[in-house]
Amino acid sequence: MDDTKVAVLLEDIRSQFRVLGDGLQMLNEKIDAQGQKLSAKIDSLDHRVISLEVSNSNEHRLILQMIKELSEEQQKLKRAK
């Protein structure tokens, strides 16, 4: 094979690698963008779960207080009879 044909083949291979590299770069950018979106959604879900936990804890405490007060009222009614 003469030098000219080798040079043409090498240039073709270089060109194909450039195209492949550009495609990989675009794919990496898309994956990074999706990763950032997922991260933001996960953060949002984390905040919502924490909010629900706090709300649930407060409601649980209120229910326990109501049960305690009802129990005290029942005891008062039993004593009054």
Eight-state DSSP code of residue 48: H
Torsion of CA 71, 73, 76, 78, to 10 degrees: -70
Give the global pTM.
0.58
5 C-beta neighbours (distance < 10 Å), count: 9
| pLDDT value at residue 81 | 72
How far is residue 33's CA from residue 3's CA, in Å, rounded to a whole number?
Answer: 45
| pLDDT value at residue 1 | 74
Low-confidence ranges of the chain (pLDDT < 70): none
